[in-house]
Chain A
């Protein structure tokens, strides 16, 4: 990473720290929701009575479906299997964190400069367009991915500490790790690229964020599909998904870079 990229990243973070309300909302809101959801996923199966779990035909049917979709859970009782399934959904919900954080930071970082007319003096320095964009991208992606990984660590720690024995290995498994370390950065980059593109047409950060929110749709689709028993994510699916996202990232980012030209920024963004 070049010296100027580091300077720009530090500047972006210095500005981010000054926007205290945004930082607190970004960190506390997902953490709180994660804590509540995890606690619920751990407590709900315990509240389910053993007798009801065995006699209720709906639960029995759902358990059969789980056993079919996830044979590794077949040997477990319905209570534990449901708990694990809920915890796996929460893991996917975590993917919304890098999208929201990256988009918020990038929208303020790019459209905010446009609104404040601070891009022209910045472009007048010897920084290259590539370094400028890289600095903005890293300053947006790193907090999003970093926060997600911290939350994942807390989530894993919470399961290790409070979940019944054997649950940890079924939740924090290869699929979960590949979701966190492959899918998470890829989807974060996609959110950022979408914001860069929408920035060239948006005149305020909120509209850029709103347009960029379309990236959330695939995540919601995966969660819905898992909940309805259509499929359960496997490491192979995550690897293929990451590959598809990487290709998508490449093309969307290229389109973003093509739009992010000094002349276009100076002569058209201000209008």
Chain B
């Protein structure tokens, strides 16, 4: 649905995006992660047909960016970083104008559908300048969807929202994912990215890595096992570390964090050895991969490079 090849953008000699190549498959949610100034918003603006690339190419919904801007913009939806609503106009007026600009056929029905879906119908005639940040963000999301685009670009959709509103927006994005829409979302919230995205792309001007969060974790870290002990002694750490399939043992409180090859096969041997040396095992669990760990490791590697 989205393909980029060597997508590059320069602003007055400053390289904002460097040779970005990736694909987003139909119905997939791809998270675009990276520090401030990494080129996430610039990438989205290029793909949404707002600005032209300096070099490289990309196609979105079959439209080549920089060629047929109006047709491309008509097929995609964009949630901008700031809601950017017309504050003196009502929620209904805001949506109706956008529906008309997008050539929506049944304007009234579409506007009602999204105002109801996002629980704004009761406030439809109120000026949006009186809305809370969360309500503005919901209306901006409705605006991005009013023409039923197949591809959605969401630039930091939950930024600055309270946890309850952020969850509501996240749930709505999951609903859109369930409808088979292709979504490219930028976020600084790694927990959110892990929950929402099928794959994540980490960028820092150029593409650092792209994959499923679990695969990225596996690529960067060995799989791990967490062993909770009743009481920790140095000999338990030594015994576990001496096993040939264990690469690292770290102690955190009453827990042993063990990095090992093929945990599915070797966990039993690990537990056996710990019991042999007198450890009382409370429980054993696999260590869940954290996207934050992956992201920080990738950024650290980039800094070192």
Contact = CB atoms under 8 A, between A and B. Distances in A.
A126 B50 contact: no
Given A120-B80, A121-B80, A263-B51, A127 B101 contact: yes
A7 B97 contact: yes
A49 interface: no
Contacts of A128: 70
Interface in A1-16: 3-4, 7-8, 10-11, 14-15
B71 interface: yes
Nearest to A7: B100
A118 B84 contact: yes
Contact of A116 (B45, B73, B86): B86
Interface size class of B (residues with CB under 8 A): 20 to 34
Nearest to A18: B88
B52 interface: yes
A124 B97 contact: no
Contacts of A19: 88
A10 B93 CA distance: 11
A81 B100 CA distance: 56
Given A126-B70, A126-B103, A266 B51 contact: yes
Contacts of A267: 11, 51
A4 B101 contact: yes
A126 B127 contact: no
Given A126-B70, A126-B73, A121 B140 contact: yes
B102 interface: yes
A177 interface: no
A116 to B, nearest CB: 6
B245 to A, nearest CB: 53
B240 interface: no
A245 B114 CA distance: 48
Contacts of A3: 100, 103
A248 interface: no
B282 interface: no
Contacts of B144: 121
Nearest to B85: A118
Nearest to B82: A117
Given A121-B80, A126-B102, A116 B87 contact: yes
A77 B143 CA distance: 68
B50 A123 contact: yes
Nearest to B147: A125
A99 B140 CA distance: 35
Nearest to A270: B82
A255 B97 CA distance: 29
Interface string B210-234: 0000000000000000000000000
A39 B12 CA distance: 59
B78 interface: yes
23 contacts: A7-B100, A8-B101, A10-B97, A11-B86, A11-B93, A14-B89, A14-B93, A116-B85, A116-B86, A117-B84, A118-B85, A120-B78, A121-B98, A121-B140, A125-B74, A125-B101, A125-B102, A126-B74, A126-B101, A126-B103, A128-B70, A262-B50, A266-B50
Interface of B: 11, 45, 48-52, 70-71, 73-74, 78, 80, 82, 84-89, 93, 97-98, 100-103, 127, 140, 143-144
Interface of A: 3-4, 7-8, 10-11, 14-15, 18-19, 116-128, 262-263, 266-267
Given A116-B84, A120-B84, A124-B48, 5 more contacts: A10-B97, A15-B88, A15-B89, A119-B84, A120-B78
